[in-house]
A and B are shown apart, each in its own frame.
Chain A
């Protein structure tokens, strides 16, 4: 459409005034307030000029998942903080609350998101499900069932899966540090 062309032309000519969107101001505040991170979390930015897309790495220092390195992609949209950030686990892991496509069942990412929450709340929420996987809200039903019936076997399965092993018919990604 000609409208798009016009917008592109305006941008090229530098006529569009530089403005910082409300979403970006809010995200800048969230990020600045993070400061240094706890040693169990790391962030990386494929493009350091783009704060809206980044990767979070969680290395739990306790619980079933100790010794694993887990990565999540964050996509923040202009609708932030009205809309929650979109978060996906980028590895295939054995976890009751994460499915094989990387969808995460964390209430504050969907039904309980509120604009007062921020990036840090989501990071803490993700860390929490590694310390306390929740068998009552399963996304990986098999894993949830094992967790609620046989914690010893669950622990073994987690360890095996983190080394890139097979549970049932599924081969998991190796996520050991």
Chain B
């Protein structure tokens, strides 16, 4: 039944999720208003969801969201389908190998779930700007790197303007590593953000460089000997590309020689690639568990039908089975959310040193030696001496020569937990 490209829902299509939208449960937030209007909202374009990543988690997320009744979904992924993805990324088939994950996933969901419109973008999250990200009600991440999460988190947090509630975009972030996983909700400025908990992230396994150089005991030591110590000597100008078979073969050969010399077993081509690319084995069912929890949080956020997780759930499946939920705390010195943003109107005739002096007199913060930057350009640095000397001439320049109307100046100072953002307007 297609009317103007919109599929009318058949009777009882959304019977199950509707139960939760007709009336709230005992723990539903006070803001919950059940009924037809809410159901229409969930199905409408006003409740547009962004799924970042169309891999192991992304496939599960798209399936879950579409089957819950979200009908307007965007998906971003920069990757193409590899044959090794097919064991768990179930929206893809053998014929799709080499194609865009986002595009194939979108097409599959639209075919399978009538009425659901999935718009793919085959590219990097960094290609899109705030205007793009502001069209979504909720942003869900199923990413595989700390770098991409940090970028997404910083972008969504920077969009939030406390005077405009429509700029508040919750992030639901899922992640898995083998039998372990996590799901969390980030509400800008009210919960901890991704950057606040950066020190909790597992980092790639690193070995002491002297162990690698002198006392290897594990096959990984031999592989890192080849990649960290031998490669830069042999090819000083070329960076290792983990996807280049020639590079992997060279490293594998060198690591094998090293292993033989020390009587270490277990250096394989697969392990070499795993160590070089820092690959963690992905388990399909862990993805399913984490994606399910993540999609449910998105549904609760969109409908207010029940309380959302507060605010971090970890799932540990490699030592028995254990889940634990706890609130990660906001960090006062978080460079992303610990940064207060202030609109500052200054006379167009002010020089940079006058702006600096006004900062020192500011009530509420006790700044002593503020350093200032705009974008990736230093305006004035208190130290170290060569940067101070290089930026000193700016003090006598007009602020309007250095920054444009509406630009953000980032101030750091030992008296601030981390930084202060000044959105500059000229009077």
Whether a CB of chain A sits under 8 angstroms from the CB of B243 is no
Known: A25-B410, A43-B386. A114 touches B199 (CB 8 A): yes
| Given A17-B130, A35-B383, A110-B208, residue A139 in contact with residue B213 (CB < 8 A) | yes
Determine the residue in chain A with the shortest Cβ distance to B213.
A139
- Identify A48's interface contact among B129, B203, B387, CB under 8 A: B387
Residue tally, chain B, CB below 8 Å to A:
56
Residues of B within 8 A of A44 (CB): 386
Partner of B390 from the list A26, A33, A48 (CB cut-off 8 Å) is A48
Q: Is the CB of B383 within 8 A of A31?
A: yes
Residues of B within 8 A of A24 (CB): 373, 376, 410
- B378, CB-defined interface residue at 8 Å: yes
A–B complex contacts, Cβ < 8 Å, 8 sampled: A25-B412, A31-B383, A34-B383, A35-B383, A48-B390, A51-B381, A79-B147, A82-B203
Q: Is B391 interfacial (CB-CB < 8 Å)? A: yes
Partner of B129, one of A16, A25, A26: A16
Measured in the bound complex, the distance between the Cα atoms of B202 and A99 in whole Å is: 29
**Which size class do A's interface residues fall under?**
35 or more
- Which residue in chain B gives the minimum CB-CB distance to A83? B203
Q: Which residue from B146, B386, B390 sits with its C-beta under 8 Å from A82?
A: B146
A61 within 8 A of B: no
Q: Chain A CB within 10 Å — which of B371, B387, B413 has the most?
A: B387
Does A115 have its Cβ within 8 Å of any Cβ on chain B? yes
**Assuming the A-B contacts A22-B150, A25-B418, A49-B377, are A36 and B383 also in contact, with contact meaning beta carbons closer than 8 angstroms in the complex?**
yes
Binds B, one of A100-108, A152-160, A161-169: A100-108
Query: B391 — which chain A residues lie within 8 A by C-beta?
Result: 48
A139 near B210 with CB under 8 A, answer yes
Query: B247 on the interface (CB 8 Å rule)?
Result: no
On whether the beta carbons of B387 and A31 are closer than 8 Å, the reply is: yes
Known: A6-B127, A25-B419. A20 touches B214 (CB 8 A): no
Question: Is A18 engaged at the interface, CB distance under 8 Å to the other chain?
Answer: yes
A128: interface (CB < 8 Å): no
A170 contact set on B, CB distance < 8 A: none
Question: Do the beta carbons of B374 and A103 come within 8 Å of each other?
Answer: no
A150 in the interface (beta carbon within 8 A): no
Given contacts A6-B127, A35-B369, A82-B150, contact A105 B209 (CB under 8 A): yes
The answer to whether the Cβ of A81 comes within 8 Å of any Cβ in the partner chain is yes
Indicate which residue in B381, B407, B418 contacts A31 across the interface (CB closer than 8 Å).
B381
Chain B interface SS verdict (over half): mixed
Per the bound structure, the CA–CA distance linking A78 and B376 in Å amounts to: 12
Report how far A45 CA is from B414 CA in the complex, Å: 22
Cβ-defined partner of A110 (8 Å) among B206, B335, B382:
B206
A32 touching B383 in the complex, CB below 8 Å, given contacts A18-B374, A110-B207: yes
Q: Quick one: which of A6, A18, A113, A138 has the most chain B CB within 10 A?
A: A18
B410 and A20: CB pair below 8 A?
yes
Docked-complex contact A29 and B383, CB < 8 angstroms: no
| B419 (CB) vs chain A CBs: closest residue | A25
Q: Is B99 an interface residue (CB 8 A)?
A: no
Residue pair A21, B376 in contact (C-beta under 8 Å) = yes
* CB nearest neighbor in B for A78: B147
The interface residues of chain A lying within 8 Å CB-to-CB of B195 are 22
Q: Which residues of A contact B209 (CB under 8 A)?
A: 103-105, 109-110, 139
- Give bound CA distance, A164 to B370, whole Å: 43
Which A residues lie within 8 Å of B126 (CB)? 7
Query: Once the chains bind, are A37 and B384 in contact (CB under 8 Å)?
Result: yes
Q: Give me 7 other A-B pairs in contact (C-beta within 8 A), A19-B375, A24-B376, A43-B385 excluded.
A: A20-B374, A31-B383, A51-B378, A111-B206, A111-B208, A113-B206, A114-B199
- Are A49 and B378 within 8 A (Cβ)? yes
- Which residues from B are CB-within-8-Å of A141? 214
Establish whether residues A32 and B229, one from each chain, have CB atoms under 8 Å apart when the complex forms.
no
Cα-based distance from A37 to B375 in the complex (angstroms): 26
Q: Are A18 and B198 in contact (CB under 8 A)?
A: no
Residues of A within 8 A of B123 (CB): 3
In the complex, A81 Cα to B418 Cα: how many Å?
A: 14
In residues 395-410 of chain B, which contact A (Cβ within 8 Å)? 407-408, 410
Contact of A20 among B232, B375, B382 (CB under 8 A): B375
Contact yes or no, A28 B229, CB < 8 A: no
Inter-chain contacts of B158 with A (CB < 8 A): 19
B 338-391 contacts with A by CB, 8 A? 339, 369-371, 373-378, 381-387, 390-391
CB distance from B381 to the nearest CB of A (A): 6
* Contact of A32 with B210 in the complex, beta carbons under 8 Å: no
Contacts known (A3-B123, A19-B375, A25-B418); A32 close to B382, Cβ less than 8 A: yes
Interface assignment of A97: CB less than 8 Å from any CB of chain B:
yes
CA distance A24 to B229 in the complex (A): 29
Chain A: CB-nearest residue to B233: A101
Nearest chain A CB to B315 CB, angstrom units: 22
Least CB distance from A18 to B in Å reads 3
A22 CA to B147 CA, complexed, in Å = 11
Q: In the complex, which residue of chain A has the Cβ closest to the Cβ of B204?
A: A83
Q: Specify the chain A residue showing the minimal Cβ separation from B413.
A: A32
Q: Does B91 contact A (CB under 8 A)?
A: no
How many angstroms between the C-alpha atoms of A15 and B127 in the bound complex?
Answer: 12
